[in-house]
Every structure is written in C-alpha cells, then in structure tokens.
Amino acid sequence: MQDCIFCKIIKGEIPSVKVFETESLVAFNDINPKARVHILIAPKKHIESIKHIQETEKDLIGEIFLAAKKIAEEKNLQGYKLLFNVGREGGQIVDHLHLHLLSPDAISV
C-alpha cells in the first residue's frame, strides 16, 4: 500500500517509537496520545479495517490481543482500554487496521 502511513511506519520509512514487534505485527506509540499510555498495535500486513478481515486472519486478530496483554504486563498497567475504530463513521482516520491500547496508569514505563 503505497500511501499508507502505517505501512511506511512498519517499513521504517517514517519514524516511530516501537514498543513491541513480532513476525506479524508491530506496536508503536501514538503520535498524539489521548492517554498517558497510548499504543497502536497493527498487523504488518495491510488490512484496511475490521470490516475487511477474512476468516483466514482470525489468528492474526488473536495475536493482536495477545500483544496488547504482553505490552500491558511489561508496562505493569493495572487497567486499560482496547479499541478498534471502524470506518470513518466509527472514528477511523488511518485505513490500516490498528488496536488502540490506552491506559491512564503507567507505573513503570
């Protein structure tokens, strides 16, 4: 996806603060954080949104949630919110699937 900002972040063409990475996904700090901890978890594969996921991608979706759990454990977060914005009407601005991990609480970052 040539003009996708998150594909460029994943390829390292646009700088970001990466906090977690596996073969299939990457997690990085949101550039405009809405909470003390605001991390975006995105698959390396370009998928536009939850509307576009296929049956074959269900493992990937599971991996995204497990990554959120691992990041929260690493940062000792006591509580957090996980959010997918879906479509413009759902508040999605960047058309590359990403899970928001938001927490007011960052005991050890």
Using the minimum distance from each CB to ligand 5GP, give the nearer residue, 93 or 107: 93
Q: Is 85 in the site for ligand 5GP (CB under 6 A)?
A: yes
Contact partner, 85, from Zn ion, ligand 5GP, none, Cβ < 5-8 Å per class? ligand 5GP
Q: Is 92 in the site for ligand 5GP (CB under 6 A)?
A: yes
**In whole angstroms, what is the distance from residue 24 CA to residue 86 CA?**
21
Contact partner, 103, from ligand 5GP, Zn ion, none, Cβ < 5-8 Å per class? none
Q: How many CB atoms lie within 10 A of CB 35?
A: 16
**In whole angstroms, what is the distance from residue 70 CA to residue 56 CA?**
23
